[in-house]
Structure 1
């Protein structure tokens, strides 16, 4: 009997240990499953995050590429438009409005004449008419050379106009020549020919071809004479 009881107790203990072992195993498995279940989303999240970031970068890149394509097209169009607006010219050398850009007036694109006037006395009138197909600027004052005179004829600074004279084709600019100034009694020089030089915007020397003219008979000039700046009106030139 004792032997059966010991065997029964041993069997019971063995069964209890087995139950505890199964419980422990089950608890560990559940714990591992719980951890695995928690780790799985974390792993998925970790895996998804780079993918999402990559997708975001790709999306940004795609959006950037899509944005850049129109931008480049707009830029090209803008440069073409802006270039025309900034320079005022197109490939044909015309302004945005269709009119051609002005050039500097010279002896090549103008017809220059010299004539004697009754008032004021001892004055000549220079007239430069634009014979070209585009407007031209009559900058500053004409530089005059009587016959072979070496010194430049004096320019009357008080005659500076408010703006540069612009001549459309067919229009004229005027400058008066005071043959002798104050004081009286100065030595006079007789001349038969006059060379008219044009100046550029910088007023440094002459530019383009000069105009060579024949002076009215009996023309004499003095060292105190002067020439005015180009004027848009004849009356403005003859008021000096």
Structure 2
């Protein structure tokens, strides 16, 4: 499905780390023309220069052992994107969150989390949202659970969709909420993104998606 934003929630894009000769970083898929920037890649030139140094030194016969200096090129590998298992959970201190009411699908809110830190972080599970004075958080759509944890490199964004109310008006106990608190399920703090001035209408049909790497996936439920 295609999600239309009302203009709120601009996403920052981070710059790739690594040397100028690094291969192009891999961007996470998104919609609406977003091209978040990933972390730097391993610099193959470092390895090439190391091999050349080793080969030249080896040809002298007496100093061939100094060819090991070529291994210094491997230090560039530390600039590559960390594996998800090595990343810390995203927290309210390392991200910026926005809440945008979209026109399609109807009665949906898009949560956007952008990594503003200097290291990768993981979006675990789904957001625990509380509108207004609500005493409980809505359930997640289990079918939206991704196959892998969403990992954000610096500058990259992740998304979750919130179904606010039933499109056919079948929901009950509806009310207008003007404030929102979103907690990370791993206990890493809470964010309070702004809602539209008029508030948003919520009823007991409310539900949220798991964190996703694209807007389209977040708004599919």
Q: Taking structure 1 as the reference length, what is the TM-score of the superposition?
A: 0.55
Q: Tell me the residue number matched to 2:201.
A: 220
Q: Tell me the residue number matched to 1:177.
A: 162
1:86-109 per-residue CA deviation (whole Å, 9 max, x = no partner) reads xxxxxxxxx994256411011110
Residue 193 of structure 1: which of 158, 164, 179 is its match? 179
Q: Tell me the residue number matched to 1:157.
A: 142
Q: Which ranges of 4 or more aligned residues in structure 1 deviate by more than 4 Å? A: none
- CA distance in 1 between counterparts of 2:211 and 2:201 reads 22
Larger Rg: 1
User: Is 1:239 equivalent to 2:204 in the alignment?
Assistant: no
Q: Which has the higher helix share?
A: 1
- Alpha-carbon distance, 1:183 to partner: 6.7
Please show how residues 22-171 of structure 1 align to structure 2 within 5 Å.
97-99=77-79, 101-171=86-156
- CA distance in 2 between counterparts of 1:146 and 1:97 reads 44
- Check conservation: 1:102, 1:136, Cα contact below 8 A: yes
- Alpha-carbon distance, 1:228 to partner: 0.4
- CA distance in 1 between counterparts of 2:178 and 2:122 reads 28
- Check conservation: 1:154, 1:224, Cα contact below 8 A: no
C-alpha change, 1:153 and 1:185, in structure 2 (3 Å) is closer
- Check conservation: 2:171, 2:204, Cα contact below 8 A: no
Q: What is the total number of aligned residue pairs between the two structures? A: 140
- Higher relative CO (Cα under 8 Å, sequence separation at least 6) belongs to 2
- Alpha-carbon distance, 1:229 to partner: 0.3
Give unpaired runs (5+ residues) of structure 2: 1-74
C-alpha change, 1:147 and 1:218, in structure 2 (3 Å) is closer
1:175-211 per-residue CA deviation (whole Å, 9 max, x = no partner) reads 01100137714221211111010022xxxxxx12210
Q: Taking structure 2 as the reference length, what is the TM-score of the superposition?
A: 0.59
Give unpaired runs (5+ residues) of structure 1: 1-94, 201-206
Please show how residues 200-219 of structure 1 align to structure 2 within 5 Å.
200=186, 207-216=187-196, 217-219=198-200
- CA distance in 1 between counterparts of 2:193 and 2:184 reads 14
CA RMSD of aligned residues (A): 2.0
C-alpha change, 1:135 and 1:218, in structure 2 (3 Å) is same
